[in-house]
Amino acid sequence: MSPAWFARPVPDATVEITADRVSALVIDVRSGRPTVTAVATSVVRAGAVTPGFVASNIHDAAAVTAAIGDVVGRLGARVRRIALVVPDAMARVSLVRLEHLPARREDLAQLVQWQVRKGVPFAPEEARVSFVPGTSTAAGHEFLATVVRAGVLAEYEKVCADAGLQAGLVDIATTAAVNLRLSGSAPSGDWLLVHVREDACAVVVLRGDRVLFYRTRTDEDRVDVGDFVHQAVMYYQDRLEGKGFQAVYVAGGGSAEWPVDVVRQNIEARIGATALLLDPGGFVALPGAVSPVASRDVLIPLTGMALRALELAVA
């Protein structure tokens, strides 16, 4: 599910930049199991980063670079190559449907990119598009496409470069959370993931490891999380002829208005299904010295991205 901005080998660490902090994590494989060996976070002053799809995101590059240097310096490891997690708000994710598939991968990429680029609110040549397969039926083939503005992505890459780091793999927080769940065996049927943070809320419906539905709302939308989830579930039932969820997960640390336990309880009341908190500890070992350091809000995207980077490197 990650964009294909990746260069092997395995990154030395994973770094996330949000509106209010920079976080970093190191994963190593010990006794055959991925293990978190270090986590660090550093607060970024208000206004230094304002995630968005079109306008500039990084307003105090020196402050962000300093925060990156601080967290990486506290990992206790030599770090040069990183996997980078960026905010949901700086990207747009959509499902693209094609009736027929071109024979060549190059032609497929051009077709998907053309479909996505024609809808962006800036010059099409500024769009950077990545995509992965979705579901396929007799009616056509879907692809989950992620688009960012090249100049906005470059801002995040530059603050990393100024800290002496190379960002080889880039992903957004919600798809990193999805990849955390997919690092285990995916549910066999349809399942739902709701990712709630201070800056964004996303609802993703999957069938196995393929996305059926993906919607994001940012803090600017002043979204009612309960209504947002309810609308997504109604769409799934009415338009996608969904038969029900095998599993429901809530990820992220929630927000001031929508704490994660409130989100979970609201979902259960609305759809009549048990909602589980997505726990990174189910997929990686979290030594006692590490687990108190960072909240689930920090660990979920970092861990999901680190596991995805490891998977891509050994594939």
- Reported as a single tens digit per residue, the pLDDT across 166-179 is 999 999 999 999 99
Q: Provide the pLDDT for residue 50.
A: 97
Which of the four pLDDT bands, split at 50, 70 and 90, describes residue 45? Answer: very high
For the chain, what percent of residues have pLDDT higher than 70? 96
d(CA 27, CA 145): 28
Overall average pLDDT of the 201-205 stretch? 97
* Helices 225-238 and 260-271: angle between axes, nearest 10 degrees: 40
The pTM score is 0.93
Q: Which residues touch 222 (CB under 8 Å, ≥6 apart)? A: none
Overall average pLDDT of the 43-66 stretch? 97
Q: Provide the pLDDT for residue 7.
A: 45
Q: Provide the pLDDT for residue 69.
A: 98
Overall average pLDDT of the 68-79 stretch? 96
Q: How does pLDDT run across 4-35, given as a tens digit for each residue?
A: 444 457 899 999 999 999 999 999 999 889 99
Residue 66: pLDDT over 90: yes
Which of the four pLDDT bands, split at 50, 70 and 90, describes residue 43? Answer: very high
Residue 71: pLDDT over 60: yes
Task: Give CA angle at 191 (23, 143), nearest 5°.
Answer: 75
Mean pLDDT of the chain: 92
